[in-house]
Amino acid sequence: MDEQRVRERGPAQWWRYGPPWWHRTDDGAAEPARSRLPWRSTVLLTALVLAGSNFAARQQPHREPLDGPARLLILVTCVLLLWRHRHPVPVAFGTAGLALVYLGAGYPYGPLFAAVAVACFGAIVAGHRRAAWAAVGMLWGGHLLISLWLYRWLPPPGDGGAALGQEMIIATWVLIIVSVAELARVRREQWARERADRAQAARRRADEERLRIARELHDVLAHSISVINVQAGMGLALLDSDPEQARAALTTIKAASKEALGEVRQVLDTLRAPGDAPRTPAPGLGRLPELVEQAAGAGLTVTVEGEPPRLPPGADLAAFRIVQEALTNVVRHSRSRHARVRLERGGGELRLRIDDDGPATGADAGGSGNGLAGMRERAAALGGTIEAGPRDGGGFRVLAVLPFDDREDR
């Protein structure tokens, strides 16, 4: 699904996080591709430098002719660029040193300096700023020394010194190249941060989805298994003395297990196809009578005060699961056989109150902890709150406040 969405968005989305060839390895990971040699770009640059140097030699007849050693220097300088990703610092100094040898031999000025610019550009982008600046400074300082002083003893014969203005132009071009490289480095770091933020957000969404599914499974299974456990105990106790009541208990077990399987299947369907619409609607407060009937089958009489309001799907599901978990805790952890559910809506929020008369069967009157934590997470996801604890007159109370947008259900 993610790959399909990337293809639909097109190349513009790729460039948002950097060109693909800067951050792509052989296995498709978004990391710098350092395992492969950039031979295509190097071959193209070598051809351009050789062709441009031949053209420059015809335009500078006063310089030394472009002979075999000159072409060998050009070729070796460009071949070094094959390792500019793996070893950016040696390549930067190597190309700058070979370019100085080329200039010292009196060969014509030409596009050989492009190879040095590419090497230093790669070193700066890779994070070796000082080394790249040092290589560029070495080349410019060596050229300055040759053109202003050493030209007297170096070929070609009769060569005159360069003017200071010409050197300033060269220095300006050097600064432009280095500045562009620095901008590329900064942009690449921004792309890396954006990719890291995007990956972190994806992991956070995956964690939230796993937590949501865990809450759903806990609520479904805890409630259904509690009902099944109570009915199984009742059926075993009445199997010999009252077979009809035992049959009714088994019927309740069958219905509860069927419903639990259906809800578990619905949760698992969202795992298999997260982008598809659910086959069955999510439960809500409209199923509150069904929940009351299941609790009655477990021996718990539930009184509902107030009418279930119409709520947005998210708030409706959270409210249903909170009531379901609270009643499950009464069945499992309280000796009370009566519980009250009160629903109040007003001011853009729903107030749920679930009370039982107690006493608790143990220290964990409100549950083992996972159920209460799940209720708090559901309420917090909607910006609401959960208060749970013993009542003053005995028993246990769960009070949930769930805000929602009134406009969503109009």
- First-to-last alpha carbon distance for the chain, in angstroms, is 33
**Beta partners for residue 339, in sequence order:** 302, 356
Q: Rounded to the nearest 5°, which phi and psi values hold at 399?
A: -120, 120
Q: Provide the edge-to-edge strand list for the sheet that holds 385-390.
A: 301-305, 338-346, 349-356, 396-403, 385-390
Q: What is the pLDDT of residue 12?
A: 44
Q: What is the pLDDT of residue 163?
A: 64
The type of residue at 173 is: W
Quote the CA–CA distance of 186 and 379 in Å, as a whole number.
43
Nearest Cα to Cα of residue 124 among 151, 94, 92, 168 = 92
Of the two residues 295 and 48, the one the predictor is more confident about is: 48
**∠299-301-302 over CA atoms, to 5°?**
135
Nearest Cα to Cα of residue 318 among 272, 363, 364, 352 = 352
Which tens digit of pLDDT belongs to each residue from 236-291?
877 778 888 777 778 777 777 777 777 777 666 666 655 554 555 678 898 899 88
Q: What is the pLDDT of residue 185?
A: 81
| Residue 200 scores a pLDDT above 80 | yes
| Residue 184 scores a pLDDT above 70 | yes
* β-pairing verdict for 338-346 and 301-305: parallel
Torsion of CA 285, 289, 294, 298, to 10 degrees: 110
Place of tokens 């060839």: 21
| Residue 301 scores a pLDDT above 80 | yes
Q: What is the pLDDT of residue 406?
A: 63
Which has the minimum average pLDDT: 25-29, 124-128, 313-317, 350-354?
Answer: 25-29
* pTM (two decimals): 0.48
Of the two residues 119 and 223, the one the predictor is more confident about is: 119
Which tens digit of pLDDT belongs to each residue from 86-114?
999 999 999 999 999 998 999 998 899 89
Q: Provide the pLDDT confidence category of residue 224 given band limits of 50, 70 and 90.
A: confident
Overall average pLDDT of the 162-173 stretch = 71
Torsion of CA 181, 184, 189, 190, to 10 degrees: 150
Quote the CA–CA distance of 13 and 8 in Å, as a whole number.
10
Share of the chain above pLDDT 90, in %: 26
DSSP class of residue 109 equals P
